[in-house]
Amino acid sequence: MTVQQLRDSQMRMASYLRDPEHNPAPEQVEERRLKVYRDLIYNNVEGFIRGGFPVLRSLYAEDEWRALVRAFLDGHRCRSPYFLEISQEFIQFLMNEHTPRPCDPPFLDELAHYEWVELALDVAEQELPPRLELDDTGSALLTLSPLAWVLAYQFPVHHIGPGFKPEAPADPCYLVVYRDRHDEVKFIEINAATARLLELFRDGDAQPVDTLLATLANELGMPLENMQAFALEQVEQMLGLDVLVAQM
Angle between helix axes 86-96 and 108-123 (nearest 10 degrees) is 160
pTM over the 0.95 mark: no
Q: What are phi and psi of 69, to 5 degrees?
A: -65, -40
- Same topology, domains 3-104 and 137-246? Answer is no
Strand order in the sheet with 173-179: 148-153, 173-179, 185-190
Give per-residue pLDDT as tens, 80-110: 656 678 899 999 999 999 999 999 999 999 9
Q: What is the torsion angle, in degrees rounded to the nearest 10, for the CA atoms of residue 196, residue 198, residue 201 and residue 203?
A: -60
Contact 232/213 with Cβ under 8 angstroms?
yes
Domain 3-104: CATH class, spelled out? mainly alpha
Contact 125/103 with Cβ under 8 angstroms?
no
Q: Which residue type does 204 have?
A: G
Give per-residue pLDDT as tens, 30-82: 777 777 777 777 888 899 899 999 999 999 999 999 999 989 988 777 776 56
Angle between helix axes 31-52 and 108-123 (nearest 10 degrees) is 90
CATH annotation of 137-246: 3.90.930.50
End-to-end CA distance of the chain: 61
Q: What are phi and psi of 163, to 5 degrees?
A: -90, -5
Give per-residue pLDDT as tens, 190-214: 999 999 999 999 997 778 899 999 9
What are the structural domain ranges in the chain? 3-104, 137-246
